[in-house]
């Protein structure tokens, strides 16, 4: 079982995440923010991973620190569960329709963090959360997961559908990327023999 935990404690947040990549999609998330919980539930459920995350943060200020740090901690746990990334498919992509919205996420578990974000939400707030924080979460997750992420909404008008479509697309893309490739055996999926170096 590829499993790991990660924690982060600062003056702003106290967060712990436990992840099992080869799970059943059971998610138990409590961040103090209902909409963020709903989005992270999607990552576990549709990513086929078991995920437990607990966060206590300075929500009296706003949701920024809790959202960003939740991304950092979950990304760290996923990276640790991957180990040296031997035998994984490495790449994954997903197109997710949510009624009028179509979201796409493409992921490369290269060890090199990078985010391309092509999303324009039609409103500034959603479920008590600033919509600009979704980009902050994806950036933080990419940073510590060692993932190149391209996330975009191809079209759509409903902000809830757009956000949920993005998290579901990330989940499905990750599900493919972390999967073990039987044909590859124990090989690292890189011509350089390791992931995380420039040019792999």
What is the DSSP secondary-structure string of 83-114? Answer: TT-TTB--EEEEEEEETTEEEEEEEE-SS--E
| pLDDT over 60 (residue 191) | no
Domain borders along the chain are 3-178
CA distance 188 to 90: 9
pTM as predicted: 0.93
User: Phi and psi (nearest 5°) for 51?
Assistant: -140, 125
**Residue 27: CB atoms within 10 Å:** 20
Tokens of residue 142, six digits: 């990419």
The residues near 45 (Cβ < 8 Å, ≥ 6 apart) are 25, 26, 27, 171
pLDDT of residue 1: 82
Query: How does residue 197 score in pLDDT terms, banded at 50, 70 and 90?
Result: very low
| pLDDT over 90 (residue 3) | yes
pLDDT of residue 192: 58
pLDDT of residue 198: 39
CA distance 130 to 182: 42
pLDDT tens figures, 18-76: 999 999 999 999 999 999 999 999 999 999 999 999 999 999 999 999 999 999 999 99
pLDDT tens figures, 69-117: 999 999 999 999 999 999 999 999 999 999 999 999 999 999 999 999 9
Topology at the third CATH level for domain 3-178? Ribosomal Protein S5; domain 2 (3.30.230)
The residues near 136 (Cβ < 8 Å, ≥ 6 apart) are 64, 67, 68, 71
The residues near 11 (Cβ < 8 Å, ≥ 6 apart) are none
pLDDT tens figures, 122-179: 999 998 899 999 999 999 999 999 999 999 999 999 999 999 999 999 999 999 999 9
């Amino acid at each position: 079982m590829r499993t790991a935990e990660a924690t982060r404690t600062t003056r702003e947040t106290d967060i712990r995440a436990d992840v099992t990549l080869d799970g059943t999609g059971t998610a138990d998330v409590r961040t103090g923010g209902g909409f963020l919980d709903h989005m992270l539930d999607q990552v576990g459920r549709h990513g086929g991973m078991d995920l437990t995350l607990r966060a206590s943060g300075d929500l009296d200020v706003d949701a920024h620190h809790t959202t960003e740090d939740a991304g950092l901690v979950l990304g760290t746990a996923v990276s640790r569960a991957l180990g040296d990334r031997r035998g994984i498919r490495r790449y994954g992509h997903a197109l997710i329709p949510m009624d009028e919205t179509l979201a796409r996420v493409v992921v490369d578990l290269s060890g090199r963090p990078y985010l391309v974000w092509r999303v324009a939400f039609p409103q500034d707030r959603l479920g008590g959360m600033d919509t600009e924080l979704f980009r902050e979460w994806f950036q933080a997750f990419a940073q510590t997961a060692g993932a190149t992420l391209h996330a975009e909404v191809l079209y759509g008008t409903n902000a809830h559908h757009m956000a949920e479509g993005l998290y579901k697309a990330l989940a499905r893309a990750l599900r493919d990327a972390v999967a073990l490739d039987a044909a590859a055996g124990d090989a690292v999926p890189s011509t350089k023999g390791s992931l995380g170096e420039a040019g792999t």
